[in-house]
């Protein structure tokens, strides 16, 4: 589906979704995808994408150039990937979660302990990088932004922070924090088996 509207564009589909909102003059673009694979290319001011799959074979991909990018992926989706230039908000319960943010902040939640991995990359972000992760493996990389409010459990949690590191709260079995630019603060629970602050 190609959206050329200057006001809003909404897509509600039950079997495989493709929505192209590449018109940057569009105010709002919304996609709701119930089954199958979801593809969402958005340059609108506000982007909302919801993938509530009923089968584990589906995937949800969002590419967002707008000011606000919101993506929700349920447990039914196999993979959930978001790339955004604006402020990113991701709530992922899928088996595999990946988020790359290049804009004004990145807020990632992976609350499902059945998720295999949850990866966050903040590149040249002008805002804060936040992550709350209960996946088996959690990874957060903040190359230029501010790493804040990183909390994670599961089997392994790794944070690579180039600079402006604040704090990391970890209840995973293995916790690693790398802050070559200084300001390394890590809080580990008593259940943590391995903890490194480099």
With 60 as the cut, is the pLDDT of residue 165 above it? yes
Backbone angles phi, psi at 77, to 5 degrees: -75, 140
Q: Which long-range contacts (CB under 8 A, 24 or more apart) does 93-100 make?
A: 94/60, 95/56, 97/73, 97/135
Q: What is the pLDDT of residue 114?
A: 93
Bridge partners (DSSP) listed for residue 169? 151, 187
The pLDDT confidence band at residue 134, using thresholds 50, 70 and 90, is very high
> Average pLDDT for residues 116-135, to the nearest whole number?
84
The pLDDT of residue 22:
74
Q: How confident is the model at residue 70 (pLDDT cuts 50, 70, 90)?
A: confident
- On average, the pLDDT of the chain sits at 77
What is the pLDDT, as a whole number, of residue 191?
57
Does 90 score more than 50 pLDDT?
A: yes
The per-residue pLDDT for 15 is: 67
Q: Among the listed ranges 16-30, 44-58, 62-76, 88-102, which one has the minimum average pLDDT value?
A: 44-58
Is pLDDT above 60 for 173? yes
pTM for the predicted model, two decimal places: 0.79
Q: What are the tokens at 96?
A: 């595999």
| 158: pLDDT strictly greater than 80 | yes
Specify the pLDDT at position 109: 94
Nearest residue to 76 (alpha-carbon basis) of 98, 93, 61: 93
């Amino acid at each position: 589906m190609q959206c050329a509207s200057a006001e809003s564009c909404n897509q509600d589909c039950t079997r495989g979704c493709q929505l192209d909102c590449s018109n940057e003059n569009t105010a709002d673009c919304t996609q709701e995808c119930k089954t199958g694979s979801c593809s969402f290319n958005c340059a609108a001011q506000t982007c909302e994408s919801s993938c509530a799959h009923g089968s584990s074979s589906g995937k949800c991909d969002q590419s967002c150039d707008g000011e606000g990018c919101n993506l929700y992926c349920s447990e039914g989706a196999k993979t959930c990937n978001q790339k955004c230039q604006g402020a990113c908000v991701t709530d992922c319960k899928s088996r595999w979660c990946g988020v790359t943010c290049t804009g004004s902040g990145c807020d990632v939640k992976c609350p499902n302990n059945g998720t295999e991995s949850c990866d966050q990359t903040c590149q040249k972000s002008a805002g804060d990088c936040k992550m709350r992760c209960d996946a088996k493996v959690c990874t957060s990389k903040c190359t230029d932004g501010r790493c804040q409010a990183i909390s994670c459990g599961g089997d392994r949690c790794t944070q690579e922070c180039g600079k402006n590191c604040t704090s990391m709260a970890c209840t995973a079995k293995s916790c690693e924090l790398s802050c070559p630019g200084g300001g390394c603060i890590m809080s580990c629970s008593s259940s943590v088996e391995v903890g490194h602050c480099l």
